[in-house]
Amino acid sequence: MTSPSESPLSPADPALVAASAPMTETTFLASASGTDDPPPPIKGLRRLMWWIIPANLGIFMLWGAIPGILLPQQITVLFGEADKVANLAIASTIGAFAAMVAQPIAGQISDRTRTRFGRRAPWMIIGALAGSLALVGLAFANSFLGVVIAWTLVQISFNFAQGPLSAVMPDRVPVARRGTFAALTGIGLMVGALGGSILGALFYNSVTVGYIVFAVFALVMLILFVLFNPDYSSRDIQPEPFKLGDFLRTFWVNPIAHPDFFWAFTGRLLLYTGYFAVTGYQLFLLTDYFGVEAPETVIPLLGLLSLVGILISTVVSGPLSDRIGRRKPFVFASAAVVSLAFLLPWFWQDLTAWFIMTFIAGFGFGMFQAVDTALISQVLPSAKSFAKDLGVVNIAATLPQTLAPAVAGAIVLTVGYQGLFPVAIVLGILGALAVWPIRSVK
C-alpha cells in the first residue's frame, strides 16, 4: 500500500527515470521517428546551423555549374553543334540514373556505419574525395564515352556525400527549429546552385579549369563541416541485420504503409522536375530561343536576380513556418508563384521576359525549398533509417536537377522550346497538390 507521502510513481521509479532521462544516440535510434527531437549536437545547434550553409554550398555549386553550363559547353566544343541536344540528353540520363540509385544506397550504408566519428562523417569525406577525383577525370575527358563515365562517377560519388549530409537535420536538429534549419540549408543549396551557374559562366571558355576549381572547393567545404561539427560515436550501437529484401524495397516508397512519406516524395519530384526542366536548360534557351549571342555575359546577372528572389523568400518563409507551425500553405504559394513566372517567357519571347521570370521564379522556389525540407524531415518513419529514407526522398531533388536537360531535350526535339513552359507549369501545380493529402504536417 502506498503511504500518503509517496506517489504511485516515485522519483526513483524506473519508468519515471527513463521518461525524464535525456535522449541519447542509442535510445534515439531505438525508438524515434521524424517527429521526435534528437540528442543535441556536440558543439551546439548554432554552430551546426551556420556550417550547413557552406557544406551545401560546396555540393550544390557543382549541380549549378556542371549540368546547365560546363557539361553542355564541353559537349558542344568536343562533339559539335549538330548533336549537342541529343548528346547532352544521353549523358544526363545516364548520370541521373546513377544519382537515383546512389543516394539510397549511400543512405543505407551510412545508417549501418559504426565508427568513432559517427555514421555520416566517413561517407561525406569519402564521397567528396572520390567525386573530386572524378571531376578531374571529367576535365580531361576527350571522348563521349569518357565524358559519360566521368560524369556518372561524379554523380555517384557526390551523392554518397550528399545523402549522409541531408540526414543531419533529423539526426541533430529539434523539430521546432527545423524550419529555420531548412531555410539555412536552402540558402546553401540555392546560393550554391545559382553561384555555380554564375561561376560556371566565368569558366565558359575554360571548362577544364572550372571543373578543377569546383572539385577543390567542394572537398574543402565538406572536410571543414565534418571537422567543426563532430558527431556522436556509433561504435556501441547495434546495427540492424541486413536483409536483401529490405534493401531492394529501399527504392520503393510504399503509399499504404507510409502515405505521408509517399506524398512528400511525389510532391517534391513533380515540382523540382518542372522547375529544373526550364532553369536547368537555361544555356540553350538563351542561345536558341532568345537569340543571345554571348550567353556567358548574361548568365551572371540572371543568377544574381534569381539569388535575390530566393534569399528574400527563404529567409522569411523558414522561420515564419516555425512560428505559425504550418508548412503546407507555403508549398501551395510557391507553386502558384513559379507557375505564374513561367507564363511570361511562354507568351513573351523576349529576353526581358526571361529576366523578370528569373526573379519571380526564384522567389517562389526559395519559398518551397525553405519549407519543404522541414516538411520532409517530419514524415520520416524511423531514426534507424533516416539517411536511407532521405536518400529516397532526395531522388526527388537530385534527379530533376540532373535529368532536367534530358527531359527538356526530349520536349524540345518533339515540340520545340515553347513546350517547356506549359509542361513545367502543370508539373509544379501537381507537385503542390500532392502535398495536400499529408496528415502529419499542417
pLDDT digits (tens, 9 = 90+) for 267-286: 777 887 788 778 777 777 88
- Contact (CB, 8 A) for 242 and 112: yes
Residue 16's pLDDT is 35
Residue 25's pLDDT is 52
Q: What is the pTM of this model?
A: 0.69
Residue 381's pLDDT is 56
Residue 396's pLDDT is 64
Homologous superfamily of the 39-229+255-435 domain (CATH): MFS general substrate transporter like domains (1.20.1250.20)
Q: Give the integer Cα–Cα distance in Å for 413 and 86.
A: 9
- Identity of the amino acid at 81: E
The residue whose grid cell reads 561504435 is: 235
Contacts of range 251-256, beta carbons closer than 8 Å, 24 or more positions apart: 251/101, 251/104, 251/392, 253/392
Residue 98's pLDDT is 85
pLDDT digits (tens, 9 = 90+) for 373-428: 767 666 665 555 555 666 666 666 666 665 666 677 777 778 877 788 888 888 88
Blockwise average pLDDT, block size 10, the chain, 442 residues: 40 39 52 61 85 92 87 89 82 82 79 83 94 95 93 93 84 80 79 82 89 95 94 76 64 66 77 78 80 79 83 79 75 82 87 88 82 68 57 64 67 80 85 74 64
Residue 18's pLDDT is 38
